[in-house]
């Protein structure tokens, strides 16, 4: 690894496990790492013990953990760390979108989040000053306990539930959505275009009509419905037609989002994102914490191996942000919004 491919996040995670004054010994075979470590240590309030040791095609750097206070990033257009939390309820889906950042499909392992984990995480997040929770997947309505999971989260904080709106109108899933508190839960529905051709080419034949039917169903039940479109650069010109459709559907402008494809997961092309350009939105799965919801298949974006305690993961994110902000006060060069 090098500092541009996740090493800084790994270092930030690891150095928090030792005490102030103790030493983290870093071995590397990448020649760019030692000088980058000198800068990182200085910016993060640590120090280097002795000289860099040079071996045959390898280097050793001893980093002494410092006790400098870490700032909390709150300025700029991003959502400040600690205000929004993402939960992946599951990873299997009824669709196989070619650009899915989570690599979800009917064949994907479900990786179900337990209701108890979702409740504990949200309770801790609330105590830390959190303001909202986003629940995504996969398709959340395939989670067998989605009603209980959403209810457990919504008792603490307002919830936005991301869905393709195709499987929630029948059986136990309909019972689950009918039980949800309309004052605490809103839905964000994926709709990529005004006409079926583009949406169906990206998400599957007939999915456009089913999504619109799902929007109508949710609004009949009294839910606030938001719309999110995912477009390649070549398709960006269709956004105007989509906004015209949403005008006719009376979807409020502040409840619309048109976002680019991120080069993550299944996507073989799209917008490149990384730690230095991606504003963090901490994301919990059943098996860890990640920097951002579009990056849950990228090992270099993993913040913690365990979902809880949440405050430990948030501290790692803030530590790395403090280094980034010190290195370039203009902030991250891009904000990738998922909601």
Question: What are the pLDDT digits (tens) for 73-102?
Answer: 233 356 789 999 999 999 999 999 999 999
Can you tell me the distance from the alpha carbon of 71 to that of 62, in angstroms, rounded to the nearest whole number?
24
Distance, in Å, from the CA atom of 211 to the CA atom of 315, rounded to the nearest integer, reads 39
- Number of separate domains in the chain: 2
| 142 found inside a domain | yes
CA contacts within 13 A on the Cβ side of 228 = 19
CATH at residue 161: 3.20.20.70
Gap between the Cα atoms of 257 and 215, Å rounded:
15
For 250, the token pair is 């009376």
pLDDT for res 43? 87
C-alpha distances (whole Å) from 51 to each of 34, 219, 259 are 10, 65, 47
User: What is the rounded average pLDDT for all residues in the chain?
Assistant: 92
**Is residue 188 located within the same domain as residue 228?**
yes
In a domain, 296, yes or no: yes
Q: Which residue has the tokens 């039917």?
A: 213
Residue 24 vs residues 11, 14, 49, 171: alpha-carbon distances, Å: 9, 8, 10, 55
Helix, strand, coil content of the chain in percent (nearest 5) = 35, 20, 45
- Any domain includes 321: no
Asked if 86 contacts 136 with a C-beta cutoff of 8 angstroms, the reply is yes
Q: Which pLDDT belongs to residue 62? A: 96
Q: Whole-angstrom Cα distance, residue 170 to residue 212?
A: 16
Same domain, 21 and 153: no
Q: Residue 45 belongs to a domain with what CATH number?
A: 3.30.110.40
Residue 60 sits in the same domain as residue 144? no
Judge if 91 and 153 occupy the same domain: yes
Specify whether 158 is located in the same domain as 253: yes
One domain for residues 118 and 28: no
- For residue 25, the cross-strand partners are 62
Is 122 among the domain residues?
A: yes
Same domain, 159 and 231: yes
Percent of the chain's residues with pLDDT above 70: 94
In this structure, the answer to whether residues 291 and 191 fall within a common structural domain is yes
DSSP state for residue 141 in the 8-state scheme: G
Residue 323 lies in a domain: no
Please report whether residue 70 resides in a domain. Answer: no
Helix (H, G, I), strand (E, B) or coil at 116: helix
Asked whether residue 30 falls in the same domain as residue 173, the answer is no
pLDDT lower than 70: segments of the chain: 68-78, 328-336
What contacts 49, CB < 8 A, 6 or more positions away? 23, 62, 63, 64
Helix extents (H) in the chain: 7-15, 33-44, 115-127, 146-154, 171-179, 196-203, 207-220, 239-248, 310-327
Place of tokens 């010109």: 237
Residue 123 lies in a domain: yes
**Separation of alpha carbons 171 and 76, rounded Å:** 44
What are the phi and psi torsion angles at 322 (to 5°)? -60, -40
Shared domain check, 18 and 139: no
Query: Do 106 and 18 belong together in one domain?
Result: no
Beta strand 159-163 with 185-190 is parallel
Closest CA to 63 of 98, 88, 28, 89: 28
Domain assignment of residue 26, given as a range: 7-64
If you search the block for the tokens 């479109």, which residue do you land on? 229
pTM: 0.90
Q: What is the rounded radius of gyration, in angstroms, for the C-alpha atoms of the chain?
A: 21
The answer to the question of residue 325 being in a domain is no
- CA nearest 255: which of 222, 237, 233, 229? 229
Residue 192 and residue 260 in one domain = yes
Q: Write down the pLDDT at residue 210.
A: 98
The DSSP bridge partners found for residue 256 are 227
pLDDT for position 73 = 28
């Amino acid at each position: 690894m090098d500092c541009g491919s996740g090493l800084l996040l790994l270092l930030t995670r690891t150095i928090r496990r030792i005490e102030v004054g103790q030493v983290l010994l870093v071995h590397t075979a990448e020649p760019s790492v030692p000088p980058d470590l000198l800068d990182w240590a200085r910016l993060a309030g640590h120090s280097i013990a002795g000289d860099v040791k040079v071996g045959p095609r390898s280097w050793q750097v001893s980093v002494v953990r410092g006790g400098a206070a870490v700032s909390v990033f709150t300025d700029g257009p991003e959502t400040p760390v600690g205000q929004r939390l993402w939960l992946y309820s599951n990873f299997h889906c009824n669709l196989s979108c070619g650009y899915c950042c989570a690599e979800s499909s009917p064949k994907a392992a479900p990786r179900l989040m337990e209701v108890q984990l979702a409740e504990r995480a949200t309770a801790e997040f609330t105590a830390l000053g959190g303001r909202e929770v986003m629940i995504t997947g996969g398709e959340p309505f395939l989670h067998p306990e989605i009603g209980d999971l959403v209810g457990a989260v919504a008792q603490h904080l307002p919830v936005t539930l991301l869905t393709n709106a195709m499987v929630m109108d029948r059986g136990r899933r309909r019972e689950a959505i009918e039980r949800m508190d309309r004052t605490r839960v809103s839905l964000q529905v994926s709709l990529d275009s005004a006409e079926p051709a583009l949406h169906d080419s990206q998400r599957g034949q007939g999915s456009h009509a089913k999504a619109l039917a799902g929007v109508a169903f949710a609004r009949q039940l009294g839910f606030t419905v938001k719309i999110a479109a995912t477009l390649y650069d070549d398709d960006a010109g269709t956004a105007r037609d989509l906004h015209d459709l949403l005008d006719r559907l009376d979807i409020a402008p502040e409840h619309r989002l048109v976002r680019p494809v991120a080069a993550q997961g299944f996507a073989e092309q799209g917008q490149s994102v990384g730690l230095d350009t991606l504003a963090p939105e901490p994301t919990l799965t059943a098996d860890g914490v990640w920097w951002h919801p579009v990056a849950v298949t990228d090992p270099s974006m993993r913040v913690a191996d365990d979902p809880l305690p949440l405050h430990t993961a948030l501290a790692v994110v803030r530590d790395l942000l403090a280094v980034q902000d010190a290195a370039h006060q203009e902030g991250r060069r891009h904000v990738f919004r998922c909601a």
